[in-house]
Structure 1
């Protein structure tokens, strides 16, 4: 297939690119900043400059493409917000696809997004799902709940570096999944015509609370976590302040999503029918225990090697100073 990946430099998008190339597909990536995407070219993908917020840049990217995989979303530090990228940008993309005659679209949404209309990102995802249903495209929607990769910065690194882990309210249990597995589901869904017009959950076998993840990280790292809890009211007040400023509005919208994860509700879904429909095996899907064990094993080995090198350098410096130290001589006395 000729596949255009939008959001290809993101955590999920790059795994879609990698998987598609491994399976022998021709992959083109729509990228805003070419220098930041050179690694995709090195993998074998074609890079095309463009931006969802600039409709005129989409026509060329869609030429000769058969499928579009949309993994793009606004980042908290972007100068443009969720509504510009995750809503108007997706409208621009769909309209450009219709004009170019590209019918097949795979869109990444969020599990249970329609249950949280007060959360900007969830509300926009739900609205986009409704828009796709009326678009006339052959769409498939995949709905993850969260990714293993996001837990590294949230829990693993702070615990390794003996920094504070921030928690808010009663943590929701979330069925996280490795982005590599999500990419595998995505490419397989494109090969199964029965997925057209469907929304499929893509979640891990177990839903984890923040406290359970922290306990797992402590066990694997041999370190105790320093936990600081923020009252939910403080998070809400912070969001209200940030929304007053244009440059922090996107961060405020993400804080609203964080509040969902602190609400105590479980984000998961049954996956048996999805595995059956796609012809995939649950045994091939990675677990959070395995993912974090591999991460901590690698990081602890690096720390061990670094400490060994520091000790070696220290010993060399000590030996050097000993060689340079002048010999002490005793004063001679006359007889």
Structure 2
């Protein structure tokens, strides 16, 4: 029997909104978990909005009743409100998995990060991969989606391009293919009826960091000015951040600066192009 009842956790985030919209359009009976119903603008006959906090297991009681599939995008980029990566990326999702098991949920879909297993030494990835381990041992059918970055993550290129110069570490030849949330949501919803356990995924355009920098500069109508910094500067910044600040500050920077010198190529998916996204972002400012 094709699953029809889907619960989305993290539905108010960047990716969660696209997933919810895709589920509604595909005709799934969709439930979303939110902190405050009043702030939700979405409305559809097959959408049910539930108030709960994933970090507080007592609020999740019976939330998975009559649910076939849970999709979780729950996670934080920056630690705030006194919550750590372990509190949110790990424990909040554990709360969901435990509740899903109680009610016989058929499948749990979790969105992690590309190369997460190689990046366990980073604070963000440590929590995500600990959760992946927990999910694999839960007894639930599962699928772990590993995107290599969203278009929105490329905002740092645009910020630099606005000033007329983009700074890169190394020669800028490493390639990646970030994906738009809309495209990723389609693929995630498509996994509901697939048997794959882990999926690496990226957008349709495989670009070097130099090419991404050029696209950002072109979006602002700026000439090509890319400065390649020696890697010792990156290593020194990382060391300084880890030594003199807390993980609340260095967590996101640590992740960004580590992946900047990694091959982040993924299988190509989607229809949305980074060039168009950059132009749209600049025009909307």
TM-score normalised by length of structure 2? 0.85
Question: Which residue is equivalent to 2:241?
Answer: 238
Residues 251-310 of structure 1 show CA distances to partners (whole Å, capped at 9, x for unaligned) of: 3222221122232x2112345xxxxxxxxxx5x5323234334444xx1xx67xxxxxxx
Question: Which residue is equivalent to 1:321?
Answer: none
> Are positions 1:260 and 2:258 aligned together?
yes
Residues in 2 aligned to 1:201 and 1:123: alpha-carbon distance in whole angstroms: 18
Greater CA deviation, 14-23 or 59-68?
A: 59-68
CA displacement at 1:242 relative to structure 2: 1.9
Question: Which residue is equivalent to 1:2?
Answer: 5
Structure 2 CA distance for partners of 1:32 and 1:226, relative to 1, 3 Å: farther
Superposition RMSD on alpha carbons, in Å?
Answer: 2.7
Structure 2: unaligned runs, 5 residues or longer: none
Question: Which residue is equivalent to 1:100?
Answer: 103
Contact 1:164 1:227 in 2 (8 A): yes
TM-score normalised by length of structure 1? 0.73
> Are positions 1:45 and 2:47 aligned together?
yes
Residues in 1 aligned to 2:244 and 2:47: alpha-carbon distance in whole angstroms: 42
CA displacement at 1:167 relative to structure 2: 4.6
Question: Which residue is equivalent to 2:62?
Answer: 60
2:33 to 22, 30, 35: 30
> Are positions 1:200 and 2:186 aligned together?
no
Residues in 1 aligned to 2:36 and 2:168: alpha-carbon distance in whole angstroms: 34
**Whose RCO is larger (CA < 8 A, sep 6+)?**
2
Residues in 2 aligned to 1:43 and 1:8: alpha-carbon distance in whole angstroms: 17
Question: Which residue is equivalent to 2:22?
Answer: 19
Question: Which residue is equivalent to 1:136?
Answer: 139
Contact 2:210 2:226 in 1 (8 A): no
Contact 1:159 1:225 in 2 (8 A): no
Residues in 1 aligned to 2:238 and 2:9: alpha-carbon distance in whole angstroms: 32
What pairs up with 1:290-329 in 2 under 5 angstroms? Answer: 290-296=276-282, 299=283
Structure 1: unaligned runs, 5 residues or longer: 244-248, 272-281, 304-335
Structure 2 CA distance for partners of 1:27 and 1:266, relative to 1, 3 Å: same
Question: Which residue is equivalent to 2:219?
Answer: 220
Structure 2 CA distance for partners of 1:165 and 1:38, relative to 1, 3 Å: farther
- How many residue pairs get aligned? The number is 276
What pairs up with 1:85-124 in 2 under 5 angstroms? Answer: 85-124=88-127
1:60 partner SS: coil
Question: Which residue is equivalent to 1:148?
Answer: 151
Structure 2 CA distance for partners of 1:47 and 1:148, relative to 1, 3 Å: same
2:273 to 279, 287, 292: 287
1:251 to 249, 252, 273: 249
Higher CA-based Rg: 1
Residues in 1 aligned to 2:77 and 2:114: alpha-carbon distance in whole angstroms: 19
CA displacement at 1:41 relative to structure 2: 4.3
CA displacement at 1:141 relative to structure 2: 1.1
